[in-house]
Amino acid sequence: MKTVAKANLTSAKLLWSLVLIYFGLFIAHCEQSQTNKEDALGDNVDKLVQDKMIQEHIPGLALAVIKDGKILKAQAYGLADMDSKVSVTTDPAFRIGSMSKQFVATAIMMLVEEGKLHLGDPVSKYLDGTPATWKQITIRHLLTHTSGIPDFLNEDISVRWWFYGFDRSVLKALAARPLHFAPGDDWRYSNSNYQLLGMIIHKVTGEAYGDFLRERIFQPLGMIQTAVSPMRGSFPCLAVGYSWKNNRLQPFDDEAAAVKAYAGGDIISTVSDMAKWDAALYSEKLLKQSSLEQMWTPVSLNDGMKARYGFGWETSGRGDGGHLVVSHGGLFIGFTSAIYRAVDDQLTVIILDNRQDPYEEPERLSQEIARLYVWKGPGYQSIADPEPEMTAHLRDVIDRSESGKSRMEDFTAAEWAEWKPWQKQAQLDRAAFSPALSLALVQRTEENGRRSCRYLVQYGFGTVLLHIIIDEQNKIALWEAEDVDLK
């Protein structure tokens, strides 16, 4: 996953990433107090954003927080253009990078609903010049990043970055490279997958994929400030993109940005337009609910393991007692972005900024902001434990996971498929930080032998609220962190 901690992060950043990764920290549903706290929440959000902008040298940022279909906060911070001192508003456009993938995936699903293609169709049915090694690669593999095709943007693959012949150049370069793994055997993020999907849209519809998006998505939703990056000229009100180099912010060259457009990340938009996109995802204006559910379902690999990615969305939380969260970040030529949708809580946070790198910051910030709005805060107290032997067993599960010795027999098949891929990361976490210090039961319900328990788990870095569901066979059916209180 793209949220895996990197060695060059500071310890504070690393800690937050580890907590999110290891525990699968997703916002859980908690009832808000009836008292109107929007002003106080807004002030807290402002502080989070302003502190992050100073810390990460972000020149400008636009933010939207949407709850139950209502925009609770639409705020702009900093500068869209440092040289001319143009302030950011919620109207200037930003490059949204890989957030573009959710639009491409939606376009594909529109064609699926219309019967013009099928998820199980081989890529070779639509694209000429594919190698024999791609014979088993399907459209579904491209959508879920399970094709094994190398990433032409982030690997040493030479392509001709120019409008004419660009698609052919990419396909030819990729066809000459071996696959990283057999289709469906593993998950590996590759921008090539979505470039190929854009080409398939063109083949099926006879339209450039950008024209299809404009006619079928942007215009019907009134996203008048959203477009696929123009290959020539400038986009009105586009913020200037920057990077932090040699201890100062430096702008990217606009002409270079105009040339490097691709189907996996070249959309330009605003937070107000993205709010319209968010609203459409709660309706069936674009797709049936069943299609959206498909897009938000974690992909199953050939061995039954799951990766937390659907069709153009990172996806998590939905399960036995969990709450669905779909999200995605973006990074492209001087810009970073994030959209975080706590679907079952009907809360969305959208962040667009004009500073490239580090990729994780907008995603992390969107999670922190979401937590302010949907989590009522700590307040759990230890209760009498009617089943101390089960608590002792769960503590053993934690200790085993941190030592890389988790056992399949402790989990249901579905939960084991979610859990197993993260054992290595759990070992790294324990090496970097303290193991669990204590485990205290704070809430417990039972129905027909099925127990829902919440525990406060104390670590050296803070306290985690852990929700566990144990089924009738004493197997763990859900293991999900619902909040974390860092020291």
Bridge partners (DSSP) of residue 369 are: none
Q: Tokens at residue 168, please? A: 């052919």
What pTM was estimated for this model as a whole? 0.76
Residue with the two structure tokens 């996109």: 277
The rounded distance, in Å, linking the Cα atoms of 426 and 217 is 41
The rounded distance, in Å, linking the Cα atoms of 57 and 356 is 10
Residues 6+ apart with CB under 8 A from 193: 141, 142, 143, 145, 147, 149, 264
Q: How many CB atoms lie within 10 A of CB 378?
A: 12
Provide the pLDDT for residue 388. 94
Please state which CATH number belongs to domain 388-486: 3.10.450.50
Dihedral angle of Cα 453, 456, 458, 462, to the nearest 10 degrees: 130
Expressed in angstroms, the distance from the first to the final Cα of the chain is 26
Q: What are the backbone angles phi and psi of residue 279, rounded to the nearest 5°?
A: -60, -40
Q: Are strands 347-353 and 336-342 parallel, antiparallel or unpaired?
A: antiparallel
Inter-residue contact 190 to 150 (CB < 8 Å): yes
Residue type, 357: D
Closest C-alpha to 291, from 437, 115, 129:
115
Dihedral angle of Cα 104, 106, 111, 112, to the nearest 10 degrees: 120
DSSP label at residue 29: P
Bridge partners (DSSP) of residue 277 are: none
Whole-Å CA distances, 212 to 130, 205, 400: 24, 8, 51
Bridge partners (DSSP) of residue 341 are: 326, 348
CATH superfamily of 36-374: DD-peptidase/beta-lactamase superfamily (3.40.710.10)
Closest C-alpha to 146, from 183, 119, 120:
183
Residue 127 Rama label (left phi>0; alpha psi -120 to 50; beta): beta
Provide the pLDDT for residue 104. 98
Closest C-alpha to 102, from 338, 288, 442:
338
- The residue ranges of DSSP E strands in 257-364, in sequence order, are 267-269, 299-300, 306-307, 314-316, 325-331, 336-342, 347-353, 355-356
Domain ranges of the chain: 36-374, 388-486
Tens-digit pLDDT string for the chain (487 aa): 333 323 333 333 334 444 443 444 443 333 344 345 567 788 889 999 999 999 999 999 999 999 998 999 999 999 988 888 888 876 789 999 999 999 999 999 999 999 999 999 999 999 999 999 999 999 999 999 999 999 988 888 877 766 567 888 889 999 999 999 999 999 999 999 999 999 999 999 999 999 999 999 999 999 999 999 864 446 778 888 998 888 899 887 655 545 455 788 989 999 999 999 999 999 999 999 999 999 999 999 998 888 889 999 999 765 444 578 999 999 988 899 999 999 988 999 999 999 987 667 898 899 889 888 876 545 678 899 999 999 999 999 988 887 878 899 999 998 888 777 766 666 666 666 668 889 999 988 888 888 999 999 888 777 888 889 999 999 999 888 777 776 5
Q: Tokens at residue 304, please? A: 């039954």
